[in-house]
Amino acid sequence: MVVDIAKMERYVGPINPSLYPQLTVLLLGIGLFFMAWFFVYEVTSTKYTRVLLKELLIASVAALFLGFGAVFLMLWVGIYV
């Protein structure tokens, strides 16, 4: 079974590369917002008023957006991961 490369279709990613800068700024901006919210929450709350579930939720959302923002930042500058 021999496959001719000339007859194959080129792979195109699901996200247009021209959107990488906008996605980077948007995702990193949202991630920084949640990270700042987490830091402010940790600094202003006492050990009696802290809620573990809220801390985990805010930190997880921040990590998710910062992670995807970092991926699109690397794609934007040409580091294809």
Question: What is the per-residue pLDDT across 42-56, written as a single tens digit (0 to 9) for each?
Answer: 999 999 999 999 999
Residue 31 counted as domain residue = yes
Residue 42 counted as domain residue = yes
Residue 25 counted as domain residue = yes
pLDDT band at residue 19, thresholds of 50, 70 and 90? very high
Residue 55 counted as domain residue = yes
Residue 6 counted as domain residue = no
Give the pLDDT score at 51: 96
Residue 7 counted as domain residue = no
Q: Which residue has the tokens 């500058």?
A: 77
User: Based on the structure, what is the number of domains in the chain?
Assistant: 1
Residue 5 counted as domain residue = no
As a whole number of angstroms, the distance between CA 77 and CA 5 comes to: 29
Structural domain including 71 reads 18-77
Query: Hey, is 2 helix, strand or coil?
Result: coil
Q: Which residue has the tokens 């294809």?
A: 80
pLDDT in tens, 28-37: 999 999 999 9
